[in-house]
Chain A
Amino acid sequence: AQSVTQLGSHVSVSEGALVLLRCNYSSSVPPYLFWYVQYPNQGLQLLLKYTSAATLVKGINGFEAEFKKSETSFHLTKPSAHMSDAAEYFCAVSAPSGGYQKVTFGIGTKLQVIP
């Protein structure tokens, strides 16, 4: 079984401040991990993914995430928040299940950026 926990359904940061969105996972096999972003009234867009090549993963729009196996975490960060970063962010874990892909999404974290 696999699961994803996103700590904090709402996070507020000031423009220019560090963005930190937390994600912890559980998986019985080495997982692949993803972050998606959803802007209002749109579908989800892949931000970045971890596939075991490197523990620090860089994504689009200046975001990055670090895979920490010992902490079962995959937190998303950005050094300086921009107004355009306001959106909902979803962490997802993907692992084999019966030979096929099984993806489990977290419940999402809404990021508010304050001018």
Chain B
Amino acid sequence: NAGVTQTPKFQVLKTGQSMTLQCAQDMNHEYMSWYRQDPGMGLRLIHYSVGAGITDQGEVPNGYNVSRSTTEDFPLRLLSAAPSQTSVYFCASSYKASWAYGYTFGSGTRLTVV
């Protein structure tokens, strides 16, 4: 089925560990982004990409890195995990980097940092 695939669904990390959250879409969407969802705070944008080779920071980028080597993939790297990064992470894509299009979301990765 076409859509946005995120792996893993669940992850527990120790403080200081690094890991990569994977995101892949098969809809040839130009725009991809990462959000974190925390209770009472809605969704906050971490990083986004408007095409292969182009990435930029969102509102909460500290502690995270991204790259976009292909149209399909947009991995999110946690450099040195901290308890404050415990959250649910969503990858979202859009046909174009335009404000007229809605997002297609992945099913999320629930990350716990202990």
Contact = CB atoms under 8 A, between A and B. Distances in A.
B42 A105 contact: yes
B50 interface: yes
Contacts of A34: 102
A45 interface: yes
Interface of A: 9, 31-32, 34, 36, 41-46, 49, 51, 90, 94-96, 100-103, 105-108
A32 B101 CA distance: 9
B114 interface: no
Closest 8 CB pairs of A and B: A43-B105, A107-B42, A94-B99, A46-B102, A105-B43, A44-B105, A105-B42, A101-B99
B71 interface: no
A31 B31 CA distance: 19
Contacts, number: 58
Interface of B: 4, 31, 35, 40-43, 45, 48, 50, 56, 90, 92, 94, 97-108
A101 B98 contact: yes
Contact of A103 (B90, B103, B106, B107): B103
A9 B107 CA distance: 22
B41 A107 contact: yes
Contacts of A43: 4, 90, 92, 105-108
B105 A106 contact: no
Contacts of A95: 99
B99 A102 contact: yes
Nearest to A52: B100
A96 B100 CA distance: 9
Nearest to B44: A105
A76 B80 CA distance: 41
A101 B102 contact: no
A49 to B, nearest CB: 5
A105 B101 CA distance: 14
Contact of A32 (B42, B48, B97, B99): B99
Interface-centre pick from A43, A100, A108 (highest chain B CB count, 10 A): A43
